[in-house]
Amino acid sequence: MNKYTDSRLQENWYEEVMSNGLDVIVWHKPLFTASHVMFATPYGSLDREQTDPDGNHFQFPAGIAHFLEHKLFESDERDVMAEFSKMGVSVNAYTSFEKTACYFETAAKDISEPLNLLLDFVQGFNVTDTSVEKEKPIIIQELNGYQQDPVSRIDLETFTSMYQNHPIRCDICGDEKSIRAITKDSLEDCYRLNYHPGRMMLIAVTPVDPSLIFELVRNNQQGKTFAPYIPLKRYTAKEPEHVIQQEKEISMELSEQRICIGIKLPVIAETAAERETRDWAVKTSMDAWFSSVNPEYQKWLDQGLISSYFSYESDFSEDMSMILFYDRGIEAEQFQVFIEDQLHKWQNSRISEITVNQLRSRTIGTALHLLNHPADIARVFFDCRMKHISMTEEMRIIESMTPQLLQQKIRELNLSNRTLTILKNS
């Protein structure tokens, strides 16, 4: 058990890698009255194709990560949800693009019983052909719900217009064809590869003595056997730089029209720290230009160029990069002209030192505030590990933002590859 201290954040955490490879983190918060424990794997909907160091290729149907998450709670021997409920413990799970996490929260001073249960049910995968077939209509119904949700739908339609090969083209649930293609064997193979202890991380944010947590996990893991660990990397086919479809219009039941402009950015080969620096520089610069921090923002609203629903986001990862702009109740052509004009001005702007300092302080304040919430600590810690940086390093990157750095990073962007998605009332 190794202790780590961040003197700036005044936070302590402990880490130990079990003999089977399971990485265990205990973020000790002695003044907290509740515990949050997350058991996670860096396996999400984008990871349906993977390769190992020997060049072996593994491919699974779209949506299998989400399907697998559903089936983790299944057991012929016990009702996992009922057992957690009897303990007065809240338990849940979720699948994102890049990870699957199971977690529980409890105010109990002794968390040994729910912790053992979490470890046992996640590491005791057991399904039947019948149960797999029974689950398919449930997940298809969930998928249909997402397709009727304009927030989910506009993202999916934008991604399918932007990307030809990248798995972000598919919903996290997959599609009806891929869901029906999932079998007991494919689930078991996927589980064996991606839920091995050597690939997973257990994060406990808790007031409980860390030594007790580590002792419990050691004892729990000692009685279990696993197949040899196979390191895996996500595989994505080569992606063209241009978007696949420049404009798309979808009719569905809506109270008002929704619009998204997606900008597909070239993926740049760079270190994790360089990528995170670029990400934060673009985010900070966009906040300076496209939010109420900009004095022009209120004029845009008053002139009807944008609505109060206007929003934006950016994402820079190892295999995809993009910027997205959203609005509602605005004419598509008007929105295109507005974004075109503002992107040009944004790339040629110079954000003032005062504005950068303001945004940097706000971002750091938000990050520090997260340290008061157990679930946020666990989530951010795991996300940083997936990005191959530490929470401390991410804080240093945020602190490094300057007007010169922001200007450099936004001027490097190629903003020419764009797509327009319109959701219209049918």
Active site residues: 69
As given in the structure block, the two tokens for residue 233 are 């990397």
CB atoms within 10 A of CB 246: 11
Which amino acid belongs to residue 189? Answer: D
64 three-class SS: helix
Q: Which of 52, 26, 15, 68 is nearest to 378 (CA)?
A: 26
List, in sequence order, every residue forming a beta bridge with 311; answer none if it has no partner. 326
* Sheet hosting strand 49-51, strand order edge to edge: 57-59, 49-51, 233-234
Q: Which of 394, 38, 91, 56 is nearest to 200 (CA)?
A: 38
- Give dist(CA 115, CA 36) in Å, integer: 10
- Give dist(CA 47, CA 302) in Å, integer: 44
Q: CB of 136 within 8 A of CB of 179? A: yes
